[in-house]
Amino acid sequence: MAASNSLPPSLSRLIEALTQLPGIGPKTASRLAFYLWRAPAETALTLAEALRDLKANTRLCSVCFNITESDPCPICADSAREHDLICVVEEPMDVAAIERARAYRGVYHVLHGVLSPINGIGPDDLRIDALVDRVRRAAERGQPIREVILATNPTVEGEMTAAFIQRKLAGLGVSVTRLARGLPAGGDLEYADEVTLSRALEGRQRL
């Protein structure tokens, strides 16, 4: 939706730019634009500088494909991490989520999406071949990968992607596991869906 002709061109351009962001419609874009106009100049300049630095300084790690300012990224460069344990995730945000839990000391591999035939996203659009090559090269160096954890989301596309990766890694001598899924802490059985309950039952543990 085009901004009103009654607005100054610079404000209209900002509104149009903001509508390009996911989840930002014309009304929200207008509110954000007017907020930035009213805010102190430092607020807008800080935002502009942060965006400039983001585009100028970040890249993808050549090992795991996470977003980084150095190559390899700090996680891949950390000798204290378990480099024979790879957690495969869909997006860089998933790495941040797992790191916040402070329960994982391995390394990562970021796919940058999931298989989605309906959206035209196939294996060549993801970093799946790079993962297979990474596992194969590690074995050739005499430092085999012990385990690959498939941590794609429990969606149809996530499950499809995990199954595809499992087939691609078959025969490479690496253990492939899937994140456990089930009832969230504090959740009620009556509100759980059938898939969640099924996974919870499958993943039950002896007390």
> What domains can be seen in the chain, in order of their start residue?
82-178 (3.40.1360.10)
pTM, to two decimals: 0.84
| Burial label, 196 (beta-carbon count in 10 A; 0-12, 13-18, 19+) | middle
Q: What pLDDT sits at residue 189?
A: 64
Per-residue pLDDT, 4: 53
Is the separation of the CB atoms in 82 and 56 below 8 Å? no
| Euclidean distance between CA atoms 39 and 200, whole angstroms | 49
Whole-number pLDDT of residue 183: 66
Instruction: For residue 152, give Cα distances in angstroms to 68, 155, 164, 179.
Output: 21, 8, 12, 8
pLDDT of res. 109:
98
- pLDDT tens string for the chain (207 positions)? 455 568 999 999 999 999 999 999 999 999 999 999 999 999 999 999 999 999 999 999 999 999 999 999 999 999 999 999 999 999 999 999 999 988 899 999 999 999 999 999 999 999 999 999 999 999 999 999 999 999 998 889 999 999 999 999 999 999 999 987 776 767 666 776 777 777 777 776 665
The pLDDT assigned to 92 comes to: 96
Answer yes or no: are the C-beta atoms of 26 and 14 closer than 8 Å: no
Question: How many Cα atoms within 13 Å fall on the side-chain side of residue 101?
Answer: 8
* C-alpha to C-alpha distances, 55 to 96, 99, 106, nearest whole angstrom: 19, 24, 28
